[in-house]
């Protein structure tokens, strides 16, 4: 019954084959290794295992989840909180306010999620009593190694002398598990080569000389119209350059790379999720571990250097057994060993109409969880405004001190004018565009 309640809270009808295999093959007293492609639901799989391992009667940190990126940490935090609401969860990561994190840790969470460097920061300063931690999850472990977190992970594992359960997940199959993890007697569930779990992609290529690559990209964006599209580049400069082009043409989009403030990156993903923008220009930072559902198209403006990176980029679409389109823009002289020579080539000729505006705009409200304001309060507040209908309100995300609301783009300006300075639960709120 508990599993069914978890699925209901997450609005998931049923487990997939991989998740069922995890529950069936997991053995108490043994460590656990899961290999499965990006987008197949590994987070829910290990969260279900945590549900079996956590005690509701202990006011100590019981499990720590180590992840390579702050975006993945935040995504996992959302899943764990929804799935296991009885267990307090705290997320720590680089770029966040260390003092605010320290305050949250004064009341020990049952589950602590974080990036290696930030977890090490709190461990070293004794902000966390890690002596009670009995379960370690190393999620996207291969990516953590790729990002150079080996030293920090060694330190963290060395501190956790009371571990009884070790869980390691990886999108790619590992021939050898590093000794420092302490994983020796373990069960493996391997879905890395599972055809049913692999994304169903339709890959096409566009040949364009260097001086015409931007035009080819713009044509693809126009052709794809309303489809949710991620454009991958190898460098931040290329992301910024494409963004400038789209700004000049009045095309709504967002950008995402490591040179942006964390708050700007989170907002870009939020707006992409809620249909306030349908084009995201990014580096490989968005290739793994992000909560970006329902992506229709991937465009490689610049191809990555390795097949592994190519696979992970493409894993942003065709998730959970859906289908997706992938477009590769190549210069005539370019060849990549991982790209099949018989990949369908398409030509782009003539001018195409600009992609339509996204249906929603994102507004912010200066009130959140700390003010006891929730989604239901915000919906009621908006529906009390003149001429606002329920179907004009999209996705709402409530943070500690602010909330973000997707609102029909055609009425966004009127809503700001009517709502600004009004009260929700007795608190006067400011409302504006993001």
Percentage of the residues of the chain whose pLDDT score is greater than 70: 96
DSSP 256-270: E-TTS-HHHHHHHHH
pLDDT given at position 322: 60
- The residues with which 324 forms a beta bridge, in sequence order, are 201
pLDDT given at position 293: 67
Whether residue 366 has pLDDT greater than 50 = yes
The C-alpha atoms of residue 214 and residue 99 are separated, in whole angstroms, by 44
More confident residue, 132 or 292: 132
Cα torsion for 205, 211, 216, 222, to the nearest 10°?
Answer: 160
pLDDT given at position 67: 94
The C-alpha atoms of residue 315 and residue 294 are separated, in whole angstroms, by 11
Alpha helices in 106-231 (DSSP H): 116-124, 141-146, 150-159, 213-224
More confident residue, 193 or 278: 278
Q: What is the mean pLDDT of residues 39-68?
A: 91
Domains of the chain: 2-190 (3.40.50.300), 200-345 (3.40.50.300), 360-433 (3.30.70.330)
Query: Cα(first)–Cα(last) distance of the chain, in Å?
Result: 41
When pLDDT is cut at 50, 70 and 90, the band that residue 110 belongs to is very high
Residue 421 has which token pair?
Answer: 């300075």
pLDDT given at position 41: 86
What would the pLDDT profile of 162-172 be if each residue is shown by its tens digit?
999 999 999 88
Summary count for the chain: helices (H), strands (E): 14, 20
* 252 alpha carbon, distance to own chain's centre: 21
Alpha helices in 149-208 (DSSP H): 150-159
For residue 21, report the phi and psi dihedrals to the nearest 5 degrees.
-65, -40
What would the pLDDT profile of 130-177 be if each residue is shown by its tens digit?
999 999 999 999 888 888 899 999 999 999 999 999 999 998 888 789
When pLDDT is cut at 50, 70 and 90, the band that residue 289 belongs to is low
Residue 321 has which token pair?
Answer: 């057994």
Mean pLDDT for all residues in the chain: 90
What would the pLDDT profile of 1-52 be if each residue is shown by its tens digit?
488 888 888 888 889 899 999 999 999 889 999 998 777 889 999 999 999 9
DSSP conformation class of 341: T
pTM: 0.67
How long, in residues, is the chain? 434
Largest interatomic CA distance in the chain: 67
pLDDT given at position 321: 47
Strands of the sheet containing 31-35, edge to edge, are 89-92, 111-114, 63-66, 135-138, 165-170, 31-35, 186-190
pLDDT given at position 158: 95
Whether residue 200 has pLDDT greater than 70 = no
The C-alpha atoms of residue 100 and residue 392 are separated, in whole angstroms, by 35
Q: What is the mean pLDDT of residues 80-90?
A: 93
Q: For residue 50, which of 24, 73, 6, 84 has the smallest C-alpha distance?
A: 84
Handedness of CA 349, 354, 356, 362 (dihedral sign): positive
More confident residue, 115 or 322: 115
């Amino acid at each position: 019954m508990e599993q069914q309640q978890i699925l209901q809270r997450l609005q998931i009808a049923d487990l997939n084959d991989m998740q069922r295999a995890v529950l069936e093959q997991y053995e108490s007293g043994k460590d656990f290794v899961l290999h499965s492609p990006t987008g197949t639901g590994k987070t829910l799989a290990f969260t279900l295992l945590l549900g079996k391992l956590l005690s509701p009667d202990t006011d100590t940190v019981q499990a720590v989840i180590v992840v390579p990126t702050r975006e993945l940490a935040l995504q996992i935090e959302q899943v764990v909180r929804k799935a296991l609401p009885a267990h307090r969860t705290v997320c720590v990561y680089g770029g966040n306010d260390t003092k605010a994190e320290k305050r949250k840790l004064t009341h020990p969470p049952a589950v602590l999620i974080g990036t290696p460097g930030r977890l090490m920061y709190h461990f070293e300063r004794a902000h966390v009593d890690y002596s009670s931690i009995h379960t370690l999850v190393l999620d996207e472990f291969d990516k953590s190694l790729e990002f150079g977190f080996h030293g920090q992970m060694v330190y963290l594992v060395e501190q956790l002398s009371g571990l009884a359960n070790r869980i390691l997940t990886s999108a790619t199959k590992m021939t050898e598990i590093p000794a420092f993890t302490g994983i020796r007697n373990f069960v493996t569930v391997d879905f890395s080569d599972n055809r049913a779990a692999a994304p169903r992609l339709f890959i096409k290529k566009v040949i364009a000389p260097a001086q015409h690559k931007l035009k080819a990209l713009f044509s693809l964006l126009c052709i794809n119209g309303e489809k949710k599209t991620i454009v991958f580049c190898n460098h931040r400069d290329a992301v910024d350059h494409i963004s400038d082009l789209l700004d000049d043409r009045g095309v709504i989009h967002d950008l995402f790379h490591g040179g942006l403030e964390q708050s700007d990156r989170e907002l870009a993903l939020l707006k992409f999720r809620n249909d306030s923008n349908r084009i995201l220009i990014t580096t490989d930072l968005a290739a793994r571990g992000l909560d970006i559902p329902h992506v229709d198209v991937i465009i490689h403006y610049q191809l990555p250097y390795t097949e592994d990176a190519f696979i992970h980029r493409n894993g942003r679409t065709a998730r959970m057994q859906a289908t997706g389109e992938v477009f590769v823009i190549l210069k005539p002289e370019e060849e990549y060993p991982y790209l099949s020579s018989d990949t369908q080539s398409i030509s782009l000729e003539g001018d195409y109409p600009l992609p339509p505006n996204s249906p929603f705009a994102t507004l912010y409200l200066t009130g959140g969880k700390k003010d006891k304001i929730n989604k239901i309060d915000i919906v009621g507040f908006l529906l009390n405004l003149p001429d606002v209908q329920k179907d004009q309100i999209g996705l709402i995300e409530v943070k500690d001190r602010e909330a973000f609301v997707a609102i029909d783009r055609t009425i966004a300006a009127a809503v700001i004018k009517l709502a600004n300075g009004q009260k929700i639960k007795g608190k006067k709120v400011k409302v504006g565009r993001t």
